[in-house]
Structure 1
Amino acid sequence: MTDERLIADLHNRWVFGWERNAGDDPFDFRRVFGEFYDFDSPDVRLYDDFDPEQRVATTAAGYGSIWEPGFREMISAHHVVDDGPHVVADLGLAASTLVFVARITLPDATTDIRTTSSLVWRRTPDGWRIVREHNSTKVLPAGALDHRLPARRIT
């Protein structure tokens, strides 16, 4: 398998690592994403503008601490890849970009989003790991994804 195909597979699997279903175990970032992020690198930079505080994490563990509280409260999060991944890889670095849509259901609200995700991967002795992340998200009108994702279920 080429590095490009391997990175494409990793980016696709990364998207679906964010899936949540009612009754799932509490969200544990390191357990879910330990094979994707470089938890030991001193030069990690991870950013997602869906974070209300728009923080830039400089460690994978720090990035996880941004997302764990919200994902533990979620009833569900369902994703569909719309475009990509598109990958370039050379020697020890690779970049991948894809677009996904998602429906996020909290106890009191459902939000549909469209996100462009760009990841930079570094080859490590343990395999390819994310060292840079930038996600740009647009909140869609309510119900925009009704035809593509499960209906809102609030219990």
Structure 2
Amino acid sequence: MRDNNDMPGHLIRRFQQIAVAVFHAEAEAAGYDLTPVQYAALAAISTNPGIDQVTLAGLIAYDRTTITGVVDRLAHKGMIERNASSRDRRARELTITTEGIRTLEGITPAVEAAQKTMVRGLSTDEVEELMRLLRKATASGNELSRAPQRDVPGD
């Protein structure tokens, strides 16, 4: 029987647990109540004003059910607004609010610190190699996911 530490799935799950714990610790220390997925959604909405929920879900690789709850929570916190789409009356366009911009700007140093903490045991070259390999493995397995990452149409 293989040791769990020889299984990529186990190590990836462990690293995800560490990443989430570090993110929460840094965000909380900076005075913010935001989850990693809420941050990802807020950042994506900020750079893609008017994006709809389905496109947002694909862009940050989350399923539609999860993204609905994320969008609901961000709207409840006053960080985003949902408006009727001018292109599709069934869709809602998402835009970041002044509060969302303030939060994104305020939390970004904590998020950057969290990223550094996650790889603190690696040299700069090792971090670059880890990132290269993670991008390669993620790209090659993207279509195997229940929520594959998608580009924004027109990009």
Q: Report the TM-score range of the alignment, normalised by the length of the smaller protein.
A: under 0.3
Flag the structure with higher strand content. 1
**Higher-helix-fraction structure:** 2
TM-score norm. by structure 2 comes to 0.26
TM-score (normalizing by structure 1): 0.26
**Bigger radius of gyration among the two:** 2
**RCO comparison, higher one (Cα < 8 Å, 6+):** 2
